[in-house]
Homo-oligomer: A and B are copies of this chain.
Amino acid sequence: MSSKTRAGNFFEDFYVGQELIHATPRTVTEGDVALYTALFGSRFALNSSTPFAQTLGLERAPLDSMLTFHIVFGKTVPDISLNAIANLGYANGRFGQPVYPGDTITTRSSVIGLRQNRDGKTGVVYVRSVGSNQHHQMVVEYTRWVMVRKKNLEAPAPEPVIPTLVEAVDVADLHVPYALTPGSYDIDLAGSPYLWEDYEVGERIDHVDGITIEEAEHMMAARLYQNTARVHFNQHVEREGRFGRRIIYGGHIISLARALSFNGLANALSIAAINGGRHTNPTFAGDTIYAWSEILAQQPLPDRTDLGALRVRTVALKDHSASDFLYQDSAGNYDPAVVLDVDYTVLMPRRTS
């Protein structure tokens, strides 16, 4: 039998300082953008209209931030998380150069931390992944940690290294690719009159709508990103698994929540940072996803009067309206309906724009 197939890395295969070049560079196209629209229904004008994007100083409509993220992330799966038990979290995610149709994305990762678990069968791997375009410009980078199986239980535990994780990306580190000339921003076309100054810290927004997910949709999305995680695709195996069915890629819920957030955050042009994120419960085909957001911080951008940053928590729920803002109990345990808790920073025009 051949040994040419790749079984993915196990915990003992990783070492701190390891550099991974992920396979399959990806030239993104207008086709990817159309599929993303069809799968999530996003209505942000920046990603929908080239003339609108040009009024913000871009050459044309860029990809939705999360489409870029998913393509970059998808490439890491065969090397990092094929043998993962759980995707534990994200931190310190920064978006860089906007991605346009025609750009080619590659991803590299560095192992920045390792900690074997007490059971001796698994360990936590911390990686920093960087997606770049064909000009070697960073398009998104983030830290992720996953729990990975050991294959050889006899392999010695590595020296534990746990990276320091910032609580949130500093505003000074945000990449701001837009330039607005006063009076140029069209709130009618953007879909909302509420700009950066109009939000308040602590304000909560019910994004109202709910979207039910079908098997064909989440599988097409994950394949579009060339994400190969087996739990999404193989009902023949998952039928016998813990849930009896295919599990939806967690990033699918982030994209749905972002699309739903248009109703209340229509001027949140793009995501500049992912400060942290957790998939608190699995989702399955047939689940209906709702979302609500809370404004965590309202941050001016250094030397900019045209745009500001809003730090936002968006919480996604399944089969439960977001109108009562379900979240955690007093002990900090998530309500069972909560499937996503993501803390991120968006860029939004100011009244002077």
Interface of A toward B, CB cutoff 8 Å? 1-2, 4-7, 21, 23-27, 29-35, 37-41, 43-45, 48-52, 61, 78, 101, 104, 106, 134, 188-192, 194, 198-199, 203-212, 214-217, 219-224, 226, 228, 230, 233-237, 246, 263-266, 286, 288, 319
The listed residue (B27, B49, B52, B211) touching A50 by CB distance below 8 A is: B27
Q: Are B35 and A34 in contact (CB under 8 A)?
A: yes
Contacts of A25 in B (CB 8 A): 45, 48-49, 51-52, 189
Q: When A and B form their complex, which 9 residue pairs have the shortest distance between CB atoms, in order from nearest?
A: A31-B34, A23-B191, A41-B223, A236-B288, A29-B30, A25-B49, A216-B216, A31-B31, A214-B216
State A29–B47 Cα separation when bound (angstroms): 12
Expressed in whole angstroms, the Cα–Cα distance for A98 and B30 within the complex equals 20
Question: In whole angstroms, how far apart are the Cα atoms of A32 and B190 in the complex?
Answer: 21
Give this chain's copy count.
3
By a CB distance below 8 angstroms, the chain B residues around A288 are 234-237
Extra inter-chain contacts (13) besides given A26-B48, A48-B226, A210-B233, CB under 8 Å: A4-B265, A24-B189, A27-B50, A30-B30, A38-B220, A38-B223, A50-B104, A51-B134, A211-B219, A212-B233, A214-B216, A214-B219, A216-B216
A45-B30 in contact (CB<8A): no
Complex alpha-carbon distance, A24 and B5, angstroms = 41
Q: How far is the CB of A11 from chain B (nearest CB, A)?
A: 20
11 residue pairs A–B, Cβ–Cβ below 8 Å: A4-B192, A5-B206, A5-B208, A6-B192, A24-B191, A29-B31, A31-B32, A37-B223, A37-B224, A209-B230, A210-B237
- A104-B49, A192-B6 known; A23 and B266 CB under 8 Å? yes
- Evaluate contact between B226 and A43: CB separation under 8 angstroms: yes
CB distance from A330 to the nearest CB of B (A): 21
Cα A212 to Cα B234 in complex, Å, equals: 5
Describe A's contact surface by its main secondary structure: mixed
> What chain B residues lie within 8 Å of A29 (beta carbons)?
30-31, 33-34, 101
A117 to chain B, nearest CB (A): 26
Let me know if B221 and A38 touch, CB within 8 A. Answer: yes
Per the bound structure, the CA–CA distance linking A24 and B44 in Å amounts to 7
Which residue of chain B has the shortest Cβ distance to A218 in the bound complex?
B216
Specify which chain B residues have a CB less than 8 angstroms from the CB of A38 in the assembled complex.
35, 220-221, 223-224
Contact across chains for B41 and A228 when beta carbons are under 8 A apart: yes
**Distance, CA A110 to CA B213, complexed state (A):** 35
- CA–CA, A41 to B233, complex, Å? 10
Q: Is the CB of A5 within 8 A of B263?
A: yes
Residue of B nearest to A215 (CB): B214
